[in-house]
């Protein structure tokens, strides 16, 4: 069944209907000599992207110092806790990282972020971004963030050398993976490396996607798919089978060490987003020689997307400089400086494709292909708000231990927030 990318974006993630948080504007109490930007891009493969964007920002804004408030930790798990405390204490940075989509729901309701529609109009951004993305970040006519990229979550990374030694090619389905896993384990390798809780959720969403297909997966988040249906329960049980072939007993500390196990030859595969491409390049590895990648099993032709974006918090101390930062994030120059380093494709549709080589050349083409089906990531904020994600995190911790698919499905469905 064909599902168009525009259709999925509209059906799956764009049905945001939140109360707007009304007027008021940051006055900017201090002069705009600096801008404090909060993100989680501190680790290898992420800080290089941020540095490239900051360098372009500095070129365009001499005299505005960049205050890097990055808090390390994959997927922002630590940063998000630090940020929540700052926002609650009325101590916002000048701009903070958030994913496009439902992740900002609670912050919008709490009045923590400003509507940026005027900036969109001033900069002419509305027709420079994919329509589905604009819809996904529009809440009651307001737009609260500026997307800087598009990442793909559903990718399976491997070492061509290891697979050649094993005599394997990457699995096209999870059933293929399970068959391969026995052979891989017999040779003394870990079939799939895994890291902390968020990487397990990242795996879960892509096992669901690869098993249920794009439409049914998208409707898990909109209420159209019954979590307790036989198909979903089967997919959940498959997830536990996959996890049983991983090194969950000795998980990696974060996503980079999980990938290290693959390129070090101790594990055959790792399922991770395309920030992995940036990380592997920091190790001087060359795409198709030192590392390879395919769509995760069952997801060929599907882009499970997420988009990093930046906000203007209400009460930002340097709101003028923050706007300059946002202009940088939304600009062609900024996106073409950032994304080739970050392992992502630009959110804008009018950037310079020649800057994207190796893995990214294929990613840019696939993202732009009208036949590509687009769904949104759970783990990275597109399809569920923070409250629902927190419920799922708690339920998933138990599920990984007790493998009770029916109990997990019930907890997830019961925790659904309609946002
Ligand atoms: C995601 C984020 C990516 C990357 C990844 C790993 O949530 O969108 O840009 O940073 O986490 O930390």
Q: pLDDT tens-digit profile of 320-345? A: 999 999 999 999 999 999 999 999 99
Measured from the CB, is residue 74 less than 6 Å from ligand 1?
Answer: yes
Q: Is the minimum distance from the CB of 151 to ligand 1 under 6 angstroms?
A: yes
Comparing CA positions, the residue from 205, 374, 195 lying closest to residue 296 is 205
Q: Which residue intervals of 100-144 are DSSP H helices?
A: 105-109, 117-123, 131-137
- What pLDDT digit, counting tens, does each position of 261-299 carry? 999 999 999 999 999 999 999 999 999 999 999 999 999
Q: Interior CA angle at 336 toward 357 and 356, to 5°?
A: 10
Q: What integer is the mean pLDDT of 129-158? A: 97
Predicted pLDDT of residue 233: 98
278 close to ligand 1 (CB < 6 Angstrom): no
pLDDT at 30: 52
Domain spans of the chain, in order of start: 9-150+305-367, 152-302+380-414
What class has domain 152-302+380-414? alpha beta
Flag the least confident range among 3-17, 96-110, 178-192. Answer: 3-17
* Least reliable range by pLDDT among 9-18, 50-59, 105-114: 9-18
* pLDDT tens profile 150-208: 999 999 999 999 999 999 999 999 999 999 999 999 999 999 999 999 999 999 999 99
Tens of pLDDT, residues 291-321: 999 999 999 999 999 999 999 999 999 999 9
Q: Which of 51, 70, 75, 145 to mutate to test the pocket of ligand 1 (most atoms within 8 A of CB)?
A: 75
Q: How confident is the prediction for the chain on average, in pLDDT?
A: 93
What does the pLDDT read at residue 387? 97
Q: Is 308 in the pocket of ligand 1 (CB under 6 A)?
A: yes
113 burial level (CB within 10 Å; 0-12, 13-18, 19+): buried
Pocket test for ligand 1, best of 380, 382, 384, 393 (most atoms within 8 A of CB): 380
Residue of minimum CA distance from atom 10 in ligand 1: 75
Q: How far apart are CA 57 and CA 335, in angstroms?
A: 11
Which two structure tokens, joined as six digits, stand for 63?
Answer: 């005299």
Span 204-236, pLDDT tens digits:
999 999 999 999 999 999 999 999 999 999 999
What proportion of the chain, given as a percentage, has pLDDT over 70?
A: 92
Residue 87's pLDDT is 98
- SS3 state of residue 113: strand
CA pair distance 317, 304, nearest whole angstrom: 36
Compute the half-sphere exposure of residue 222: CA atoms within 13 Å on the CB side of its CA.
20
Which fold does the domain 9-150+305-367 belong to in CATH? D-Maltodextrin-Binding Protein; domain 2 (3.40.190)
| Whether the CB of 201 sits within 6 Å of ligand 1 | no
Sign of CA dihedral 347, 348, 350, 356: negative
76 in ligand 1 pocket by Cβ < 6 Å? yes
Strands (E) located in 178-299: 190-193, 267-271, 292-295
Euclidean distance between CA atoms 302 and 107, whole angstroms: 30
Q: What is the pLDDT of residue 418?
A: 80
pLDDT computed for residue 31 by the predictor: 63
The whole-number pLDDT of residue 416 equals: 96
215 alpha carbon – ligand 1 mean position (Å): 24
Q: Is the pLDDT assigned to residue 21 strictly greater than 60? A: no
Q: How far is the CA of 195 from the centre of ligand 1 (A)?
A: 14
Q: Which letter, b or e, does each residue of 38-59 get, where b requires 16 or more Cβ atoms within 10 Å of its Cβ?
A: bbbbbbebbbbbbbbbbebbee
């Amino acid at each position: 069944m064909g599902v168009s990318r525009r259709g999925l974006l509209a059906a799956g993630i764009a049905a945001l209907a939140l109360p707007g948080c009304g007027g008021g504007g940051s006055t900017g109490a201090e002069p705009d000599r600096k801008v404090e930007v909060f993100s989680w891009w501190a680790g290898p493969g992420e800080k290089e992207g941020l540095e490239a964007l900051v360098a372009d920002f500095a070129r365009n804004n001499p005299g505005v110092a960049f205050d890097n408030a990055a808090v390390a930790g994959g997927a922002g798990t630590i940063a998000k806790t630090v940020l929540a405390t700052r926002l609650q204490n009325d101590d916002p940075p000048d701009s903070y990282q958030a994913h496009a989509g439902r992740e900002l729901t609670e912050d919008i309701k709490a009045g923590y972020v400003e509507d940026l529609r005027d900036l969109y109009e001033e900069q002419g951004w509305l027709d420079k971004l994919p329509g589905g993305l604009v819809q996904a970040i529009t809440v009651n006519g307001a737009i609260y963030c500026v997307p800087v990229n598009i990442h793909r979550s559903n990718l399976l990374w491997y070492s061509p050398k290891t697979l050649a030694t094993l005599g394997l090619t990457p699995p096209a389905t999870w059933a293929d993976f399970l068959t391969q896993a026995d052979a891989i384990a017999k040779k003394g390798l870990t079939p799939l490396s895994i890291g902390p809780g968020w990487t397990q959720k990242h795996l879960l969403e892509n096992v669901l996607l690869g098993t249920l297909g794009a439409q049914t997966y998208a409707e898990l988040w909109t209420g159209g798919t019954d979590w307790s249906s036989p198909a979903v329960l089967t997919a959940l049980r498959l997830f536990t089978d996959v996890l049983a072939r991983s090194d969950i007993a000795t998980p990696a500390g974060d996503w980079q060490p999980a990938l290290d196990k693959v390129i070090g030859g101790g594990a055959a595969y790792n399922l991770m987003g395309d920030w992995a491409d940036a990380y592997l390049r920091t190790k001087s590895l060359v795409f198709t020689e030192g590392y390879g990648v395919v769509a995760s099993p069952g997801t060929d032709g599907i882009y499970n997307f997420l988009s990093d974006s930046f906000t203007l918090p209400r009460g930002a101390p340097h709101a003028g400089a923050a706007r300059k930062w946002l202009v940088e994030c939304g600009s062609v120059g900024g996106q073409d400086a950032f994304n080739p380093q970050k392992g992502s494709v630009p959110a804008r549709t009018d950037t310079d494709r020649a800057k994207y080589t190796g893995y990214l050349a294929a990613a840019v083409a696939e993202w732009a292909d009208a036949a590509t089906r687009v769904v949104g990531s759970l783990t990275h904020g597109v399809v569920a708000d923070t409250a629902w994600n927190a419920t799922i995190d708690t339920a998933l911790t138990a599920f990984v231990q007790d493998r009770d698919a029916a109990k997990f499905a019930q907890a997830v469905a019961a925790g659904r927030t309609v946002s």
